Chains A and B, each alone.
Chain A
Amino acid sequence: MRVYRALGGVWLRLACCGLVILSLVGCGDSGPASSGAPTTVRRLTQEQYATIVADIFGSDITIKGRFDPDVREEGLLAIGTSHVSITPASLEQYDSLARSIAAQVVDEKHRDLLVGCRPASKAAPDDVCARQFLSEVGRQLYRRPLTDSEIATQVKVADDATRAIGDFYYGLETSLAILLESPRFLFREEIAESDPDNSGGFRLNAYSRASRLSFFLWNTAPDDALLAAAENGDLDSERGRARQVDRMLASPRLKAGVRAFFTDMLGFDTLGGLAKDPQIYPKFTATLAGEAQEQTLRTITDHLVTRKGDYRDLFTTRRTFLSPLLASIYQVPIQARKGWEAHEYPDGDPHTGIVTEVSFLALHSHPGRSSSTLRGKAVREILLCQAVPTPPANVNFSIVQDTKNTNYRTARDRLTAHRTQPTCAGCHKIIDPIGLSLENFDGLGALRQQENGAPIDDSGQLDAMQFSGAVGLGKTLHDSPAATACLVNRIYGYASGHLPAKGEVEWIKYLQDRFAADGYRVPDLMRRIAISDAFYKITIPPNSPTQANSGAGKAPSMERKS
C-alpha cells in the first residue's frame, strides 16, 4: 500500500506537470507566497444588481430606479464599493425596487415559470412550495445556501402575509422583497475561514471564493454550477478552480466581465455626465457619449477576448467599431445605417488605439476646448497608474482658458506661457507633453490640422521618450512597462476590491512577469489570478473580531473592511 501511495503521489505530480504542459498556466506554477489582505464587504453596483436579477428572473423583469453613485478610490470603483454604505434615501430606492421586482416575479404572467411550484390553494399558505421557491431563490441572491433558520424565517413571513391578505402569491412576494433588500444580497460579504494549508492563516470560504471569482470573470453572482462547485469542495484546490475558471473563460459572459473591468478602469462612469458646449461641438449628444463608450468596449473585447490579442496593442490597433454617429466625428463613410460596423483605419492614419477614440479624447477635455493637461493626466493616472498632484488653489488659469488670445493661438502656446508660473511648471512638465501629442484631436475627438489658424505641433514626450502625434504616443504606451504593470495592478485591485497589500507585492510582481511571458493576454492573466491560492488568502487585521470558521449567514461585518 505504501508503494501504491508513493506511486500515487508520483502519478499525481506527473499528472500535475502534464496539466502545466497542456495549459499555459496550470497548477504547480503558483508563484511566490502572498499574505492576502483583509476581507471586504462590497456594495453591488447598479449593473451587477440588474444582471443578477436578470440572471435569476429573466430580462423582462423591469428594474426602475437609480442607486447612489459609487465612489472611486485608488483609481477604481471596485475598491470604492467596499467603502460605501446605504443612505436612508437609497434604502427607499432599494425597498421600492425590491417590491417592484417581487411583484413582477409572482404576477400572473411570470409565476408559473418563475415560482416553479403551485400552491395547493392560492388563498392559503403552502409551506412546501414557499420553502422550495424561497430556498432556491435565496441561494442565488445570497450567493450561498440559506441556513435553516433563514429559510424558516422567510417561510413564516410568507405564511403570515398570505394569511393577512388571503393570497399565497402575495405572501411569496413579501418574502421575496425582503430577500431582495437584505444586506446579504446588496453587499458582497466575504467570509474567511482557517486555511488548512497554512497553519494560522486564513482564506475565503468556498462561497466567498465563488463570489469573488464570478464577479471578477462575469460581473455577476455565481451560477448554479459554480455554487455547486463551492458546495462540493471543488473550489478548495487550484485544479478544481481551474475547471470552473476554464468553463467561465470559455463562456460568452467573459466579455461582460472584461467590459465591466475596463468600464471601471477607464472611468466610463463619468461619461454619462459629460457635457459639451453645443455651439462648439454640435455633434455631441448624450447618445454620442453612450456610443463612444460602446465603441471602446467593443474594441477592447474584440481585441482581448475574441482575438486573444496582446494588451499593449490596444494602444496601437487600427481596428475598431463605428456607429453612424461616431463615423461622422471620425469623418469616415460607413455602410451601416444603424448599429455597429467593424472598421480598420489605413496605415498612417492617426487613429491608433483607444486613446484616439472619442471616449478618451472627449472625456478628458473641457466642455469647449481640448485639454492637453487633462489628457496627459489621464494617461499618467489611468493607463500608467501614476499619481499626479492636484493643482494649488491659487492657480491663475486665465491664459490657458483664453482660446481666442491671438498671442497664444494653440494649446501649446498657451500652456508654454502658463508654465512660466513656477507653481504650475512642476506638474505640467510631466503631463502636458503627453497630451500635446493628441492636440490634432479637438475637444470632442475630431481631427483638426490647425487651431485658430495656426498649425498644430503634435510633438510629445513621456518621460525620456520623445515622439510625434497619436501614433507616437500609442507606440510609446505599447512599449511602456509601466502600462502593463498598471494593468496588472488594476485588474488585481478590481478583482480583490483592494490595493495590493504589502505582503502581496511579490505576488503582483510575479503576475506582471507572467503577464509578459503569456504575451500580455488578459484572459490568461485573469485565469492565473482566478485559480491561484493567493487570490483567496485573507489576513486578519489586529484587534479584529475573527470570522474564521464562521460559516454562512453572518451579517456584514463592517469592522472587517480593509
Chain B
Amino acid sequence: MQPIFNLDRIRCLTLAVSAVGIFATAASAAETRGFAISWFQPAYYAGDDDCPAGVSQEIDWKEVFAKEGKTPAEIQALFEHPLSPDFQKAALGRGPHGENVCADPASLPDSSWKTVQGKQAYGANLDGTQDGTATPNSCTHQKFTGIDGTPAVDNQLYRVMGCSKIHRGSKAKDGHDAFGIEYLNERMREGLVTYLIEITGIDDIRNSNNVQVGIYQGADPLVQDGAGGVQADSTMRIAADTRWQATVRGRIKDGVLTTDPVDFNLRGEAVWLPEFHFKRAQLRLEFQPDGSLKGHLSGYQDWASIYWGMAKTGFLLEKFSAGNCPAMYNAFQRMADGDPDAKTGQCTTISSAYGVEAVPAFLIHPAETKGNKTAQAAEPANTVAAR
C-alpha cells in the first residue's frame, strides 16, 4: 500500500502560496526551497606545503623597542607590565615618526608577512582568466588549483591570511578548527546574524536550467538543535531592509546549484567584519541527501574593510593573534586582485571564498509578516519556501 501522503504534497501546497510571488509567472509549476545558512566561514585549505616558512608569530617586541632606541633598562621596564598603556604605545607607535602602525599601516613599509605558497585552494575562477593576467576588472595575480581540480581558482584572501597563526586550521579538520576564522561562524550559530537562501523555480532538484536564487539577511536567530547543529525546517523571516537582499539567476545541474555573478551585502559581526560587501560573487552549492546544501560562496571583497576589521583591535591583534598590522596591510595591497583603482591601478578588492552549509527552512518574506507595515512597504514579495 502506498503512503497516502508525502512531503511532495507539502511542496505542492507551498507552491500554491508562492504562486502569488514575484517569480510566480515564470515558475508556476516549479518548486521553491528555502534554506538557512548553518555554516559560514572563510574557506582556507590546509595543505602541507602552504606555509614553508611556518605560520605567523608574535612580533619580537624587544627587537622593535631596541630599534626604536630604547635602552635595555627601558625595555625591561616595559616588559614588567606587557599589557600596560606604555607597552601598547611603544609597540604600536613604531612608525617612522611614531605613527600608530595599525591606524596608519602605510607609514611603515613591511613586506614580512608570510603568505601561502601552496598550489591548492577553495574557490572559483572569478576573473575568467587561466593565468591571472590583469584584466579591466582585475590585477595580475597567481592562480590556485581548486581542491576538486577546478583550474584557475582565485582566492587571494586565503593567500594573504592562510599562514596567519590563528587563521590556519589543521588538514585533518579541513581547516575548520582555525580559531580566527571560526569566530564569525560561531557567533552566527549563536544567533548573532542569520543568512538565508531561497531557490525559486526548481523544476527538478537534480537539473533545472533556470532558477532564481535569493540571498537574504535573516531577521530571526538560528535555532540550535539537540546535537549542537542548526535546526532544520525552522521558519525564518527575511529582514525587511533591502540593503541585505539580492537575487540572481542560477541553474542546477546534476544536483549542483551555481549562480551568475552578483553583488550583495550581508551584515557580519564586529570582530571579523561588520559588513560583507561581495562583488561578482558566485554560489556553488550541492544538494545533499538530507535536503541540505553544501559548497562555497566565492567573490571579491573590499580588502581594506577586512584589514580595518582586524586592525581595529590594534595591540590585541599583534600581541595575542600573531598579527602585524603594517605587514598584513602590505600583503593585502600586494595580493589584491580585483577592481583596480582608475587612477592608481591599485586593486581595491580581493578574491575570496567562504565555506557554506545550509539547512532547509521556511522563509517568510517581509510582506507576509503580520503587522509589519514597514516591511510591507519595503518589499512586496510574498513567497514562502519549503524544503
Contact = CB atoms under 8 A, between A and B. Distances in A.
Tell whether A pairs with B: yes
Interface of A: 276, 278-279, 281-285, 288, 324-325, 327-329, 331-335, 337, 346, 348-350, 440, 447, 449, 455-459, 468-469, 471
Interface in B216-253: 220, 223, 225-227, 229, 231-235, 237
A456 B3 contact: yes
B253 to A, nearest CB: 24
A383 B133 CA distance: 75
Interface string B1-24: 111111101100100000000000
B6 to A, nearest CB: 4
B375 interface: no
B364 A335 contact: yes
Nearest to A460: B1
Contacts of B1: 457-459, 468
Interface of B: 1-7, 9-10, 13, 220, 223, 225-227, 229, 231-235, 237, 362, 364, 368-370, 384, 386-387
A449 B7 contact: yes
A325 B226 contact: no
A328 B233 contact: yes
B7 A447 contact: yes
Nearest to B237: A337
A331 B227 contact: no
26 contacts: A278-B226, A282-B229, A282-B231, A283-B231, A283-B232, A284-B226, A285-B226, A324-B223, A325-B231, A327-B233, A328-B223, A328-B233, A329-B233, A331-B7, A332-B362, A334-B362, A346-B13, A348-B4, A349-B5, A349-B9, A447-B5, A449-B6, A449-B7, A455-B3, A459-B1, A469-B3
A2 to B, nearest CB: 72
A348 B9 contact: yes
A276 B223 CA distance: 18
Contacts of A284: 226
Nearest to B13: A346
A333 B227 contact: no
Contact of B5 (A276, A325, A348, A455): A348
Interface majority SS (helix, strand, loop, mixed), chain A: loop
Given A284-B226, A469-B5, 13 more contacts: A276-B226, A278-B226, A278-B227, A279-B227, A282-B227, A325-B223, A333-B386, A334-B235, A335-B369, A349-B5, A349-B9, A459-B1, A469-B4
A471 B1 CA distance: 14
B375 to A, nearest CB: 13
Contacts of B5: 348-350, 440, 447, 469
B4 A333 contact: no
Contact of A458 (B3, B226, B227, B384): B3
B386 A281 contact: no
A332 B31 CA distance: 16
Contacts of B387: 331
A281 B220 CA distance: 23
A328 B231 contact: yes
A255 to B, nearest CB: 26
Contacts of A331: 7, 10, 233, 386-387
Given A331-B10, A331-B387, A282 B226 contact: yes
